[in-house]
């Protein structure tokens, strides 16, 4: 089935795509299995304000294949301003869903971001709960700015792994800027999931 680009709803400073959780999951799964380049953002109020304050960041977000309504206020704004029903598509919920899709299709996952401790526990959790999903690699980059050589080495490592899905946890706006700068060089779909790593690893409880 041909993917029909969803309608774009402008919420203050960024374009949010009107799409259901199920349809977004299906399309992102297809892109990942085909190892298509691109990235997906999960928009909350913080991201919206960052884009409002920084036009260059807003331009980075406009490069995303999908910007999904992560925060409940963002989903509600779509309903209020445009009379369009938009369910919340939270990264916290999307991460286990995409891992289940990877498990079903025996796809490869690459983890980028967070700390060594979190990555170690997350890999253990994925192996336990999603045994058919292969963690093809993981990188915990230093918090300082990376050199161009380091960036290229990371991109090469991701591509060499054969990953279908790259789960990114650098925090907003750093992860979105990294994805926008590197997605064309990476043969996989990138998902900016922020704090979902700690929750998925069982280290931190999800905020109410």
Q: Where are the domains of the chain?
A: 8-200
Asked if residue 70 lies in contact with residue 14, where contact means CB atoms within 8 angstroms, the answer is no
pLDDT band (50, 70, 90) for residue 204: low
Q: What is the pLDDT of residues 8-59, one digit of tens each?
A: 999 998 999 999 999 999 999 999 999 999 999 999 999 999 999 999 999 9
Asked if residue 151 lies in contact with residue 177, where contact means CB atoms within 8 angstroms, the answer is no
pLDDT band (50, 70, 90) for residue 195: confident
pLDDT band (50, 70, 90) for residue 71: confident
Could you tell me what percent of the chain has a pLDDT over 70? 96
Average pLDDT, the chain: 94
pLDDT band (50, 70, 90) for residue 207: low
pLDDT band (50, 70, 90) for residue 203: confident
111, pLDDT greater than 70: yes
Lay out the sheet containing 165-169: strands in order across: 66-69, 38-43, 189-192, 165-169, 108-113, 134-139
CA atoms 169, 19, 108, 178: torsion sign: negative
What pLDDT is stored for residue 145 in this prediction? 87
């Amino acid at each position: 089935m041909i993917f029909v680009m969803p309608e774009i709803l402008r919420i203050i400073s960024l374009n949010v795509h009107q799409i259901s959780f199920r349809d977004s999951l299906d399309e992102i799964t297809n892109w990942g299995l085909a190892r298509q380049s691109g990235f997906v953002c999960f928009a909350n109020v913080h991201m919206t304000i960052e884009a409002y304050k920084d036009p260059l960041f807003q331009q980075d977000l406009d490069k995303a294949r999908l910007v999904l309504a992560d925060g409940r206020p963002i989903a509600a704004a779509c309903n209020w301003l445009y009379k369009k029903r938009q369910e919340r598509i939270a990264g916290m919920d999307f991460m286990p869903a995409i891992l289940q899709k990877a498990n079903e299709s025996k796809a490869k996952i690459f983890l980028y971001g967070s700390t060594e401790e979190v990555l170690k526990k997350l890999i253990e959790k994925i192996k336990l709960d999603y045994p058919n999903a292969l963690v093809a690699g993981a990188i915990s980059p230093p918090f300082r700015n990376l050199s161009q050589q380091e960036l290229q080495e990371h991109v090469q490592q991701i591509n060499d792994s054969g990953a279908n899905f790259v789960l990114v946890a650098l925090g907003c706006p750093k992860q979105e800027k990294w994805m926008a700068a590197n997605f064309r060089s990476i043969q996989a779909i990138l998902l900016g999931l922020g704090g979902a790593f700690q929750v998925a690893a069982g280290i931190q409880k999800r905020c109410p």
